[in-house]
Amino acid sequence: MIDELLIAQSLIKYYRTGTGWSEKKARPVKAVDGVSFTLYRGETLGIVGESGCGKTTLGKCIVRLLDPDEGKLWFNRDGETCNILMLNKKDGFDMRRRIQMVFQDPYGSLNPRLNILGAFDEQLRIHGFGDRAKRREIVAQALERVNLQPDYMYRYPHEFSGGQRQRICIARALAMSPELIVCDEPVSALDVSVQAQILNLMKDLQKELGLSYIFIAHDLSVVQYMSDRIAVMYLGKIVETASADELYERKLHPYTQALLSAVPVPVYGAKKERIILKGDVPSPLAPPNGCRFHPRCAHCREICRQVEPELREIGTTGHRVACHLYDGKNE
Amino acid sequence: MEKRNSKARSSLARRSWQRFFQNKAAVAGGVVLTLILVLCVFAPLFTPYDPAYADVSQKLMPISAAHPLGTDRLGRDLFARLLYGGRYSMFIGLAGAVGASVIGVVLGCIAGWFGRRIDRALLSISELFSVFPQMLLILLCVALMGQSVANMIWVFVLTGWSGVFRIVRSRILSLREEPFVESCVANGISGGSIMFRQLLPNTIGPVIVHTTLATAGFILAEAGLSFLGMGVPNDLPTWGNIINAAKRIDVIVNQPMQWIAPGVAISLFVLSINFLGDGLRDAFDPAQ
Amino acid sequence: MEQQMILRVKDLQTAYYVGKRRVNAVNGVSFELKRGETLGIVGESGCGKSATAHSILQLLPKNGRIEGGKVEYFPKEGEPVCLSECKRTGRKMREMRGGEISMIFQDPLSSLNPVYTIGDQIIEMLRAHEKISKKQAAVRAAQLLDKLGIPDAEKRLRDYPHQFSGGMKQRVMIAIAMICNPSLLIADEPTTALDVTIQAQILELMQQIQQEYGTSIMLITHNMGIVAEICDSVAVMYMGRVVEYGSLKQVFTNPKHPYTVALMQSVPVLGMGKDKRLVSIEGATPDGSTVFKGCPFADRCTKAGPHCFDHPPVETEPEPGHRVSCHLYTEGGAAE
C-alpha cells in the first residue's frame, strides 16, 4: 500500500541580501523557486544538484529551520493531512519530532562540550520521552540500532571517528522515533570505505523501521543508489523528476544528461561520450530569463530564452520534465 | 550504573587537568597564587599584628624577627599590612573581573544569538565603553560616586565587560552556524536553552583566560588609582595604598622595603595569575 | 625500455613529527611514471598520497622529513636529477619547482593570493623561471588562458581572484602551473572542491593539455571513477604504503589486493541495482602513528589469516608490471 507522506506545493524561499538601509533595494537570492514534489511513506526521495541549486535550502525548509516564503507542505499526520507550515504551536512542535535531519558535517553536528547522552537528552526531555532512566534507555537503544555500543553515550565527540559521528547523528534522529529523516549530504564528508557503511546502515534502518528519507546530495551515483524517486534541481527549480531507474534509462532533460555523463565511472574501459557543459552555474541572484539552463544548453532554441518551461508529465510513469524539447510530446 | 556514569562523565575534565599539570609554568603560577591566597586569607595565623594599629614607638623599625618586613612611619607592621592588604586587592580584582565577565557573557550570548538589531545596539554600547579613555572614565566615576571598595568594583565592572562581551559574541556568532545548533533548533529546543546550555560551555575557555588576566589588570589598576589617591580610602591597606604611602622621596631612599615589598607582591601575583591563565586556556581548549 | 621514464620513486620514507609522536606518512613507496602518461594515486584521507607528492617537490611542512629512499627525475635532456638529495630551499630545487615539475592543489579558493591580479600571479611565475619582458610574459599568459578556455583572456588578466568562479580559479591555477611548460604536472585532488559538471570540464582540460604538450601527470585523488577515466597506471595507497600498483587495465579488471577490491565495490555505480549491497570496509583508518607488526590492513581485511597480523607482506608481481603487497599472493601466505 502506497500512501503519501509529504507533498510540497510550489515552495518558494528567497534570501534577502544586503543589510541595513539597503535591504529593500537588494535583489533576493531565489534559492528555492517554486518546488513541488511528493514523497511516499517508506520511500526515499533523492534530491540532486550542484552547489547553489537550492537543495540544502529546500531541506532546511522541510525541517523548518527556514520558513518558506510561499507554498504548502502537506504532511500525512496519523492519517490526517495537514499543512505543516500553518500548524499551531503545539502541533508544530510535534512535527519537529516527526521530521528529523542529518547534516553533512559530522564534526560540527555534535556539540564538542557535551557527551553523547547530553547531546540527545534535551530534545528527548522536551518532547516528553519520560524520565532520566527512560531517556537513557532510549539513547542506548538508538546507539545499538546504528551498531554502536550503548556505553558510548558517556563519551565525548572528539573520541569518535567521522564515520562513528555520522552514526551518532543518525542515532540522534532515530531516538526521536521520526517518520521522515532529511539527510543533507550525509556521506560526502566521509571516506569512501566509510561511506558504504553509512549507506548500508541507512538502507537497513529504512527496511526495519519503515522510515522515509529525503536524500540530498550532489553525487548522482549515491543518490541513484539510495533513492526510489529522484528530483534533479537546477538554480532553485526541479528540472526533472522520475523514478531512479527511469531517470537512468531515459534521462530527458539536457541538464540531467550532462550531469549523468559527468559522473566518473570506476570501471575500466567505460569511457563514454562525456557531455561537457559550457561555463558555470549562473548566480541565483540573477537567474537567466526563460529556461534557467539555456545559456549552457546545447539544444537551446529561441523559445528557451523567453519562456520558462513548466514541469510536465511525459509518458505515464510519473516522469516529469521541464524542457521545451518535449513540448507537445505524449502529454 | 550511576557510579560508572560519573566516572566516565569526568573524562573530559580529567584529560584537561592532565594537560594542565604537564605545563610547568602554569603549575608554578598556580602554586605561587595558592600560597599568596592562603597567606592573605588566613592572615591572622601568620601575623599577630593588627594592620591598622599604629604603635608610634615602633615606627620605621628595620627587618627583624618580630617585624619580618619592618614597620612604616606610623609603626604599623608592614608584613601584616601586606597580608591584610592582599585581601582587599584580590577581592577588588577578582570581584571586578568576575562581575565584568558575567555581564559580558550574558550580553555576549544575547547579542550573538539574536543578532540583527539587538546585536548592533549592544555592540555600539560596548564600543562606546571601549573608545572612551578607560582611565578618564574611572576617574570620572570615582569623582561622582566617591571613594569606596564597592564603588571601585563597580567602576571595574562597568569598564571591563566589553572585552568578554566581544569574545563571547564572536564565538557565539560563529557557533550559531554549526549544524549541532541547527539540530537543536530543528528539534524545537528553545533559544535560551541553546544559548546557555549548548553554546556557553563552548566559550568558557577564552572567558576563563580573560577573567584571570582581567583580575591581574584590575589589581594593577587599583594600585595605580590608589597611588594617584583616587582609589579606595587611604585607611584601607590595599597593595596600592601601601605603595602610595611610601611615595615620599626619603622613604623611597631610606626605607626601600616600604615600596619593594608591596611592589614584589603585586608583580608576583600578576605574573602567577597570567601563567595560570595561559595554562588554563591551553588545557581547556576543546580543539586539542 | 620502449618508453622514457620521467620520474622514479624508490622506497620513499617520509615522517612527520607531532610533539614526541612520529607519524610515518610515507612508508616505503615506489613507483615509476613514464613520459606523457598519467599516474593515478588513490587512497583515503591519511593514506599518505599528498605527503608523497609533497615529498617529491620537498614541499613538506617544517615538521616533516624525508627519511629514506630516492626520488629521481629524468629531464628531456641531460643528467637525471636526484630530487631527494637536493636541498629543500636550494637553487636546483627552486628551478625544478614550476619549471620542470609543477603542482596544482585541491582548493583553488585559497591557492591564489587575493591581493594580486591573476595576470600578476601568472607573469611572476613565468619571470621567475625565464628571462622575459613583462609585456611578452603578459602576451604568453593571455594566450595560455585563452587556450584553457577562459573567455576574454586579455582583459581577465587584470581581474582579481575573487572575480572568478571556483571552476575558473582552478583553470587559472592550471595556467600558473603550465605557464613554464613543465614536463610533469602533479595534481593534488584538483577537482574535489568542484561540482561534477565543472569537474568534467577540468578533467577534459587536463587531458587536452596532456595531448597537446605531452605533459606527464601525477593525479592524486580518492575517486576511483576519475582514475578510471583519465589515468594510464594506478598506485593504490593505504597507511603510507603502495598496496597495489599496475596499469589501469590490470588494477581495474583484475584487482588483487583485498583493499583495492573493497574500495571499488564500496562506491555505488550509476545504474547498479538498488538491492545490491555495497561492500563496506569495517572499522576506520588507523591513526597515522600506529606501528604495524604485520599487514596494516589485516584487522579490516576479510581474508586476513593469522600470518597477516604477524608478518609484513612482501611485494610480489603476479603478472608483469602488476605489483601487490599481500600475503594472499606469497607462497604459504594467508592460507595457513
The DSSP annotation for C170-192 comes to HHHHHHHHHTT--SEEEEESTTT
Find chain A residues with C-beta within 8 A of C248's C-beta: 268
Cβ-defined contact of B186 to A65 (cutoff 8 Å): yes
Give me the pLDDT at residue A17, please: 67
The distance of A32 to chain C (nearest Cα, Å) reads 19
pLDDT score at B287: 52
Counting CB pairs under 8 A, whether chains C and A reach 3 or more, is yes
With cut-offs at 50, 70 and 90, classify the pLDDT of residue B286. low
**Contact yes or no for B246/B71 (Cβ under 8 A):** no
Sign of CA dihedral A163, A168, A171, A176: negative
Share of chain B above pLDDT 70, in %: 92
**Average pLDDT of the segment spanning C250-267:** 89
Q: Is A45 helix (H, G, I), strand (E, B) or coil?
A: strand
Closest chain C residue to A221, measured at CA? C270
Greatest mean pLDDT among A168-182, C110-124, C159-173 lies in: A168-182
Residue B165 lies in a domain: yes
In a domain, B49, yes or no: no
Average pLDDT over residues C233-262: 91
C-alpha cell, B54:
599604629
Cα gap A140→A153, rounded to integer Å: 7
pLDDT by 10s per residue, chain A, length 331:
468 899 998 899 988 765 545 445 567 788 888 899 999 999 999 999 888 888 999 999 999 998 899 999 999 888 888 888 888 888 889 899 999 999 988 888 998 888 899 888 889 999 988 888 999 999 999 999 998 988 888 888 888 888 899 999 999 999 999 999 999 999 888 888 888 889 999 999 999 999 999 999 988 889 999 999 999 999 889 999 999 888 888 888 999 998 888 888 888 877 667 788 877 778 777 788 888 898 888 888 888 888 888 888 887 678 899 998 887 665 4
Least confident of A139-143, B93-97, C331-335: C331-335
Closest C-alpha to B108, from B189, B212, B210, B188: B210
Mean pLDDT to the nearest integer, B142-152: 79
Task: Tell me what pLDDT residue C312 has.
Answer: 87
Q: Residue B100's pLDDT is what?
A: 92
pLDDT at res. B4? 40
- Please judge whether C200 and A261 are an interchain contact, meaning their C-beta atoms are less than 8 angstroms apart: yes
CATH number for the domain including B149? Answer: 1.10.3720.10
- Count CA within 13 A, CB hemisphere, residue A306: 3
Model pLDDT for residues C2-19, shown as the tens digit of each residue = 568 899 999 999 988 877
**Is B37 part of a structural domain of the chain?**
no
**pLDDT (tens digit, 9 = 90+) per residue, B173-188?**
888 888 899 889 888 8
Pairing of strands A44-48, A212-217: parallel
Q: Is residue B236 part of a domain?
A: yes
Asked if residue B209 has pLDDT above 80, the reply is yes
pLDDT at C163: 84
Edge-to-edge strand list for the sheet holding C233-238: C101-104, C184-188, C216-221, C38-42, C233-238, C241-247, C322-325, C315-319
Which residues of chain A have a Cβ shorter than 8 Å from any chain B Cβ?
60, 63-65, 93, 96-97, 99-101, 103-105, 108-115, 119, 122-123, 126-127, 151, 154-156, 158, 169, 172, 176
| Nearest to B101, CA basis, from B187, B22, B15, B161 | B161
**How much is the pLDDT for B3?**
38
Q: Give residue B270's pLDDT.
A: 87
B120 vs B148, residue with greater confidence: B120
Give the pLDDT confidence score for residue A167 in this predicted structure: 92
Determine the distance in angstroms separating the CA of A126 from the nearest CA of chain C, rounded to an integer: 34
Name which of C167, C197, C269 is nearest A267 (Cβ-Cβ): C269
Q: How far is C277 from chain A (nearest CA, A)?
A: 7
For residue C332, pLDDT over 60 is answered with no
- Say if residue B205's pLDDT is above 50: yes
Residues from chain B that touch A57, judged by Cβ atoms under 8 A, are none
Distance from CA of B96 to the nearest CA of A (A): 27
**C-B interface (Cβ pairs under 8 Å ≥ 3):** no
Q: Which residues have a Cβ under 8 Å from the Cβ of A157 and sit 6 or more positions away?
A: A107, A110, A111, A112, A116, A119, A165, A168
Which are the contacts of B175, defined by CB distance < 8 A and separation ≥ 6? B112, B181, B199, B202, B203
Print the domain residue range for B263.
89-288
Which of C201, C280, C285, C322 would best serve as a mutation to test chain A binding (most A beta carbons within 10 A)? Answer: C280
Chain B adjacent subunits, 3+ CB pairs under 8 A:
A
Task: Read off the pTM.
Answer: 0.83
* Domain-embedded: residue B26: no
What cell does A120 get?
Answer: 540527545
Contact B12 A156 (CB under 8 A): yes
Instruction: Fill in the DSSP letter of residue C251.
Output: H
Residue (of B153, B40, B145) closest to B93 by Cα position: B153
Contact C269 A281 (CB under 8 A): no
Mean pLDDT of chain C: 85
**Is C229 close to A265, i.e. CB distance below 8 A?**
yes
A-chain CB neighbours of B180 within 8 Å are 108-111, 119
Instruction: Measure CB to CB from residue C229 to each of A50, A248, A271 and give the nearest one.
Output: A271
pLDDT the model gives residue B9: 46
Lowest mean pLDDT among A232-241, B88-97, B113-122, B238-247: B238-247
In a domain, B48, yes or no: no
Query: Measured between beta carbons, which residues in chain B are less than 8 angstroms from residue A126?
Result: 187-190
Long-range contacts of C34-37 (CB under 8 A, 24+ apart): C34/C3, C34/C4, C34/C5, C34/C6, C34/C216, C34/C232, C35/C3, C35/C4, C35/C5, C35/C6, C35/C183, C35/C214, C35/C216, C36/C3, C36/C210, C36/C214, C36/C215, C36/C216, C37/C3, C37/C216, C37/C217, C37/C232, C37/C233
Does the CA dihedral B14-B19-B20-B21 come out positive or negative?
A: positive
B200-215: average pLDDT: 85
Number of domains chain B contains: 1
Predicted confidence at residue C143, as pLDDT, reads: 87
CB B61 within 8 A of CB B55: no
Q: Which residues of A are less than 8 Å from B12 in CB distance?
A: 113, 115, 156
CB contact under 8 A, C274 and A244: yes
Question: Does residue B31 lie within any of the structural domains?
Answer: no
pLDDT at C334 (0 to 100): 45
Distance CA(C92)–CA(C83), nearest Å, equals: 9
Distance, CA of B19 to chain centre = 23
Q: What is the pLDDT of residue C335?
A: 43
Of C252, C272, C284, the CB nearest to A225: C272
Interface residue of A43, A51, A191, A248 to substitute, partner C, most C CBs within 10 Å:
A191
Contact check, Cβ <8 Å, B180/A93: no
Count how many pairs of residues, chain A against chain C, have C-beta atoms within 8 Å. 129
Q: What is the pLDDT of residues B21-39, one digit of tens each?
A: 888 888 998 999 899 888 8
- Give pLDDT, residue C86: 79
Q: Sorting pLDDT into bands at 50, 70 and 90, what band is B5?
A: very low
For residue B22, tell me if it sits in a domain.
Answer: no
Residue bearing the bigger pLDDT, B162 or B8: B162
pLDDT value for A7: 92
Closest among A282, A222, A240, A235 to A54, alpha carbons compared: A235
**A228, A243 contact by CB (below 8 A):** yes
Whole-angstrom Cα distance, residue B242 to residue B258? Answer: 8
What is the average per-residue pLDDT within C287-292? 78
Q: Check: CB of residue A240 under 8 Å from CB of residue A310.
A: no
Sequence-separated (6 or more) residues with CB below 8 Å from residue B33: B269, B272, B273, B276
List CB contacts (< 8 A) between B8 and chain A: 115, 151, 154-155
Return d(Cα C174, Cα C184) in angstroms, integer. Answer: 12
Mean pLDDT, all residues of chain A = 87
C299 touches A: beta carbon within 8 Å: no
- What's the confidence (pLDDT) of residue B6? 41
